[in-house]
Amino acid sequence: MESINNSNPEKDNKKPSEGSLYFGVKFRFFDKVYPILRIQIPVLLGQKVVVETTRGLEYGEIALRKELPNMKTEQKGEILVKRIVRVATPEDDEVYSRLKDDETEAFIQCIKKKHQHNLTVKFFKVEKIFEGHRYIFYYKREEIDNKKDKQNKPRKNNFQPFTLDLSQHLKAKVELREVGSRGEAKLFGGVGDCGKTLCCVDWNKGSTVTVKMAKEQGLSINIPKLSGCCGRLKCCLSYELDNYQDGEFIYE
């Protein structure tokens, strides 16, 4: 196993070469490797560690990442890994192994109380923070049939009683986080048609993608083929757009 260097990329004056690899940490729910702000403890590739993040202590695995970490900017909702607290102990491993069972029970209770409080949202994932004092429930707004409910305005959900009820039952803090189609794809992860990790996972901030972008690149307007796993237009339609607009490859 390869040992990690304690050097900080921000302090390295040498320009990183193309294809360079950097160390980070990967969490179970995210198909992405997050950079580590400070590595002060000698660790090995593939080793389980407990790290301090912007949302508390987390359990993860040391992995490789291709991009040079940008520590100066933090996207909203993204996890920032501050430092490695310790190499995971047997006690940490035991706590980690119980998280899935706790999340399953919490999700069951969430669905029950959703119906009790008559919420019109779709909960699809729950995550228990490693420290154990907080749960994050991810949800989407339910799609409304426009033909049936054309004259009915969408009812506004009151999350406060639901959150309080669920928090008291779980004896932990409950956080609700709404995501869209791309956010859902990011949470579940996966591989696109290109054979690479989904753009929603690899990129912090998704760009606006329109059908006009496909037209300017001379692509056949076939929405199912131009759509990704999330059901929205593929992010990659925006990657080469500038080359088509600035070069000779402009299609009318």
Delimit the CATH 3.30.300 region(s) of the chain.
98-178
Q: The domain 98-178 is classified under which CATH number: 2.40.160, 1.10.3470, 3.30.300, 2.60.120? A: 3.30.300
Q: What per-residue confidence (pLDDT) applies to 148?
A: 52
Tens-of-pLDDT digits for all 252 residues of the chain? 444 544 444 444 444 444 466 789 999 877 778 888 888 888 899 999 999 999 899 999 999 876 655 544 455 567 889 999 999 999 999 999 999 999 999 999 999 999 999 999 999 999 999 988 999 999 988 765 544 555 556 668 899 999 999 999 999 999 999 988 777 777 777 777 777 777 776 665 556 788 888 877 777 787 887 787 777 788 777 777 777 776 655 444
Please report the pLDDT score of residue 23 as a whole number. Answer: 82
For residue 234, the tally of other CB atoms under 10 A from its CB is 21
Query: Within 13 Å and on the Cβ side, how many CA atoms surround 194?
Result: 11
Which pLDDT does position 216 carry in this prediction? Answer: 78
Judged on CB neighbours under 10 Å (0-12, 13-18, 19+), 23 is buried
